Amino acid sequence: MAEPVNASAVPTQPVDVEALHSLVMQSLDDDQAVEMISIPLAGKSSIADHMVIASGRSSRQVASMANKLADKIKQQFGKIVRIEGLPVADWVLIDADDVIVHLFRPEVRTFYNLERMWAFGDESASKAASAPSA
């Protein structure tokens, strides 16, 4: 019979950022998150490579999505994420190092409008690029 492995004794492997991002997006989709967006941060910020923003219909759904996502990341990558805001669950932040996830109730998301803050420059640049030239 094999000895159980002590998780703290196992060196942590580098996480495949794209696989982690894919897991986050799939988990939120499975849990029926609303208005999911992913903002690429690589080259814009050193805090992470991706920021995912999504809404839940209620505080209960937001908390459930956050807990399930944390469990899936731990199970698949052996990584324990940091979670803030879970007791109230109006806005929950899940920090998985290379992927940061913000889960909101819709009215709280509208108030803080993180998408505009992080993607504002990209939106104006993409609109200018797609505008027909005269």
Contacts 24+ apart (CB under 8 A), 126-131: none
* pTM attached to this predicted model: 0.78
- pLDDT for the residue numbered 54: 97
Amino acid code (one letter) for 42: A
115 class by beta-carbon count within 10 Å (0-12 exposed, 13-18 middle, 19+ buried): middle
pLDDT tens column, 25-73: 999 999 999 999 999 988 888 899 999 999 999 999 999 999 999 999 9
